[in-house]
């Protein structure tokens, strides 16, 4: 079984070449997209925190473009591997929502290289193996298992970098 550090290092390597997007959302869409874009513009890749993304009702990744996920994914995984916070709970459930959004029409999934997909699938399997109590507590065991299958069997369409 891999350690959290091994998983995060593999994700860092897989997503290292993804450039910082000029914009993280379709900022011209609406005021909410502008605000979320500004929030993510203020975040460093390695300093992303739950205060930036942990409010499910005001999550910038609900309107983020696929390249945003690629750029920030190692940080999002780090948040999911952290213990739950009193204010935000366990971030893994929120990240799972994004990873399964639109199933096969998921822009992030479609944009990942085979190496990136393998790294995400390995991360998801690691969550299943090491965060069983959190997964069961949030009642997302089936959803996480389904998400793991989705990421481990999907074929790439285009790449982020």
pLDDT, residue 121, reads 95
Residues 6+ apart with CB under 8 A from 80: 90, 91, 92, 95, 127
Q: Structure pTM?
A: 0.89
Q: How far is 132 from 95, CA to CA, in rounded Å?
A: 16
pLDDT, residue 41, reads 92
Share of the chain above pLDDT 90, in %: 47
Q: For the segment 51-93, what is each residue's pLDDT rounded down to a tens digit?
A: 888 777 788 988 888 899 999 999 999 999 999 999 888 899 8
């Amino acid at each position: 079984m891999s350690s959290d550090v091994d998983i995060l290092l593999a994700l860092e390597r897989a997503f290292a070449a993804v450039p910082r997007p000029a914009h993280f959302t379709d900022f011209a869409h609406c005021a909410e997209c502008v605000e979320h874009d500004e929030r993510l513009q203020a975040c460093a890749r390695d300093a992303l925190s739950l205060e930036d993304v942990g409010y499910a009702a005001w999550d910038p990744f609900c309107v983020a473009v696929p390249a945003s996920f690629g750029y920030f994914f190692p940080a999002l995984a780090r948040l999911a591997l952290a213990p739950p916070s009193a204010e935000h709970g366990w971030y893994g459930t929120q990240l799972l929502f994004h990873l399964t959004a639109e199933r096969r029409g998921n822009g992030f999934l479609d944009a990942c290289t085979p190496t990136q997909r393998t790294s995400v699938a390995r991360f998801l399997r690691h969550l299943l193996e090491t965060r069983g109590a959190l997964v069961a507590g949030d009642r997302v065991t089936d959803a996480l298992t389904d998400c793991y299958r989705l990421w481990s069997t999907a074929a790439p369409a285009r790449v982020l970098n």
